[in-house]
Amino acid sequence: MARPPAEALDIIDRYGPHRSYPHGVRLDAGLDPDRLVKTHCCFCGQQCGIQLKVKDEQVVGFEPWMDAPFSAGRLCPKGVRRYLQGSHPDRLLTALRRDPSAPGGFAPMGYEEAVARVAAEIGRIQEAHGRDAFAVLTGASLTTEKAYLMGKFARVCLGTRNIDYNGRLCMVSAGAGNKKAFGVDRAANPWSDIPKAEVVWISGANVAECAPITTDYVWQAREHGAKIIVVDPRITPIARTCDLFLPVKPGRDVALFNGVLHLMIENDWIDHEFIRARTVGFEKVAEHVREWTPRRTAEATGIAESTIRRAAEMWGRAKSSFLLHARGIEHHSHGVQNVLGAINMVLASGRIGREGCGYATITGQANGQGGREHGQKCDQLPGGRDIADPAHRAAVAKVWDVDPDGLPGPGVDAYEIFREVERGHVKGLLSICFNPKVSLPDSDYVARMLDKLDFYVAIDFFLNDTARHADVVLPGSLHEEDEGTVTQIEGRIIKINKAVACPGEARQDWRIIQDIAAALGRPKGFTFREPREIFDELRRASAGGVCDYAGVTYEKIERQGGVFWPCPADDHPGTPRLFEEGSWNPVARGAGPYYFPDGKARFNVAAYSPPAEDVDADYPLMLTTGRVVSQFLSGTQTRRIGPLVDQYPEPRIELHPRLAAELGIADGDWATVETRRGACTLRAMVVTTIRPDVIFVPYHWAGPKSINRLTVSAQDPISKIPEYKVCAARLSRAPGPPDYAGRLEPQQ
């Protein structure tokens, strides 16, 4: 497709050559659009509704979508700028092959030739080393249709057990904890329950920067008189307006939850009838938390005993409540224990499954929810089914028209796939919608493993930092170039609508996958003509599973403003609130609202252990990592959006004035943070909003500014989530700027 001439360049050239759009799409600037397309934002799990302005088959701007479900016209800074990425000159318009003699190390390649090469390499590697020698890494920014297709592609077309996805870095501790306690992994309530709660407890979630629209729900609760409790090592923007702030030491939340439960039991702030009728396992947990006295809890968590008592009383005495948590408690080598601790506190209160009484983890990526349900996880089949369960395998094999015995078994997690490369077991890799070199911890190791691969193909719309190690790059589709569904933060399935066609030789991701299947001579099951057909098969494959989409259609989504799963039948409206009295689910079959054969929720002993790498004399500080409002994940997309770069151009090291004084570091100075993995020199940002024993660095940058070169690769033994939220570090003033200071190109 021809691009507009360069002279059409308009408002955005003020962002300089590295961030301008020289092929000259006129952006917004008062254009009359040819049409407005109602869809949702491509970034976080809130999935705000947005209307994209299309002019001359280009996305040139946006309008708010005022009656969108959930967001009602609201958007954050990333949402209002998202339309700028499609016109960036780095957008991949052709396939690429690695060519050291070409500028940038890559040369364009014909699409058909590229697909043929990929198929030939897959065939060669699998023939020589077995089917599992080829691995697949996928992502939860993909639509549910694509996520489903990727799981099927790995198991049926490639026949490899080695597939996993970037939600391994994100949602899995919450998922594992929820399954252990409730038998199902979804927000228990719609967000409309938040404003009805008397107490909102927020642990490890930077709500205002990372789930900005949720702020509004929390503030509505506050308007109605609710008390807001925030637990974080940093006074994040939402904490500035809370009633009680608990400055927890990173990695100690389970101690806090146990300590609060201890006080709830001691003061009889528990719901005996709910515990008796609706749960099992309380006695063991009660026994376990007996030792978590306020004093011991204070020692472990670094929170004053009086504050812990106040929190327990606020929570304990409430008549209605909503507990939210996010990666702050989940990104830990004991992330699942933290989640179980939180859920124990909710179950003991009996405040769940009712109006104004709720619990949820805040989903991260655009399709963090739908992307974790239908088979792109290493141990999972569609419908939230278990790949090791013979009945589950048989159900899905029937829909796929394959022999259940031919389906591979469980594979290994996303990080372990790289360790399998080191061991020589995995020789080839296909990645789509994942940037592991920036996003995985101890990332120099990941880079070495990428270079050890015999063959690596990446599918993306930008040449992300990981794809720079690829042999072949295939140009995939941007969010607005395809249709499909995603399941947002509340468990509501919504529709993404196509606004424009793929430019150049770029193709919709699902077409690329099917083209590879065809080139491999294994097209059976990969001949869908449109996303709707994939969705219809997914509905059948999920029927009877825990995540049941059988009764969901594109039309029902449009009509109802989304459909909450489970929705098992055509005449079923969906299930906004889980665990209501009298509700039915396919596991309990009427025995009770929870997804276990007896219908009861499980208390689980939540054991405390310190972080995998605790502080010591050499590394006396706790390094924690996370996000800023204007950047998204590995930054591949948002570092190409000029106004967002302007808002926060480079990572900075947040530290407390007391620590700054001790180390002789002033605000704006260059400082070097070191861990056992490496060192990184960045500007210091002295803030009173952080614990003096903690430093915080956002992780959205690649190359020498990437904090993941320093993070620890310890993982939770159950969920396999990496411990991004704490490792031991030291900090010192740097003599001057590093040579990479001020470098702003996207691949910095």
Ligand X SMILES: Nc1nc2c(c(=O)[nH]1)N[C@H]1C(S)=C(S)[C@@H](COP(=O)(O)OP(=O)(O)OC[C@H]3O[C@@H](n4cnc5c(=O)[nH]c(N)nc54)[C@H](O)[C@@H]3O)O[C@H]1N2
Q: Where are the alpha helices (DSSP H) in 566-680?
A: 642-647, 657-663
Taken in order 391, 393, 398, 404, the sign of the CA dihedral is: negative
Q: Does 651 bind ligand X (CB under 6 A)?
A: no
Q: Does 232 bind ligand X (CB under 6 A)?
A: yes
DSSP state of 231: E
Q: Does 138 bind ligand X (CB under 6 A)?
A: no
Q: Does 441 bind Mo ion (CB under 5 A)?
A: no
Q: Which two three-digit tokens encode residue 92?
A: 């991949």
3-state secondary structure of 70: coil
Residue of minimal Cβ distance to ligand SF4: 79
Residue of minimal Cβ distance to Mo ion: 364
3-state secondary structure of 148: helix
Question: Considering the complex, what minimum distance in angstroms separates the CB of residue 647 from ligand SF4?
Answer: 13
When binding is defined by CB under 5 A, the residue of 24, 190, 364, 698 that contacts Mo ion is 364
Question: Considering the complex, what minimum distance in angstroms separates the CB of residue 216 from ligand SF4?
Answer: 10
When binding is defined by CB under 6 A, the residue of 433, 493, 496, 513 that contacts ligand X is 433
Q: Where are the alpha helices (DSSP H) in 280-389?
A: 282-289, 294-301, 305-317, 327-330, 335-349
Q: Does 414 bind Mo ion (CB under 5 A)?
A: no
Chain residues in the site for ligand SF4 (CB under 6 A):
41, 43-44, 46-48, 75-76, 78-79, 212-213
Listing DSSP states for 385-408 in one string gives EETT-HHHHHHHHHHHTS-GGGS-
Nearer to Mo ion (CB atom), residue 170 or residue 263: 170
Q: What is the largest CA-CA distance in the chain?
A: 73
Site for ligand X in 489-548 (CB under 6 A): 509
State the residue for tokens 């592991």. 436
3-state secondary structure of 537: helix
Binding mask 352-381 for ligand X (x = CB under 6 A): ------------xx----------------
Q: Does 169 bind ligand X (CB under 6 A)?
A: yes
Nearer to ligand X (CB atom), residue 82 or residue 385: 82
Nearer to Mo ion (CB atom), residue 364 or residue 491: 364
Q: Which two three-digit tokens encode residue 737?
A: 């700027």
Stretch near ligand X under the rule CB under 6 A, chosen from 15-23, 91-99, 244-252, 372-380: 244-252
Distance CA 58, CA 29 (A): 14
Catalogue the E-assigned strands of 388-480.
428-432, 455-460, 472-475
163 DSSP β-pair partners = 136
Stretch near ligand X under the rule CB under 6 A, chosen from 271-279, 393-401, 489-497, 628-636: 628-636
Nearer to ligand X (CB atom), residue 509 or residue 716: 509
Chain centre to alpha carbon of residue 333? 17
**Which of ligand SF4, Mo ion, ligand X, none has residue 41 at its interface (CB below 5 to 8 Å by kind)?**
ligand SF4
Q: Does 484 bind ligand X (CB under 6 A)?
A: no
**Which of Mo ion, ligand SF4, ligand X, none has residue 213 at its interface (CB below 5 to 8 Å by kind)?**
ligand SF4
Q: Does 707 bind ligand X (CB under 6 A)?
A: yes
Question: Could you tell me what percentage of the chain is helix, strand and coil, using 3-state DSSP and rounding each to the nearest 5?
Answer: 35, 20, 45
Q: Which two three-digit tokens encode residue 10?
A: 């308009």
> Which of 559, 729, 575 has the alpha carbon at shortest distance from 655?
729
Distance CA 519, CA 457 (A): 15
Site for Mo ion in 153-182 (CB under 5 A): 170
Omega cis (within 30) before 566: yes
Question: Considering the complex, what minimum distance in angstroms separates the CB of residue 46 from ligand SF4?
Answer: 4
732 DSSP β-pair partners = 672
Binding site for ligand X (CB under 6 A): 44, 139, 141-142, 166, 169-170, 203-206, 209-210, 231-234, 236, 248, 250-251, 253, 326-329, 331, 364-365, 432-436, 439, 459-462, 464, 476-477, 479, 509, 624-627, 629, 631-634, 636-637, 696, 699, 707-708, 711, 724-725
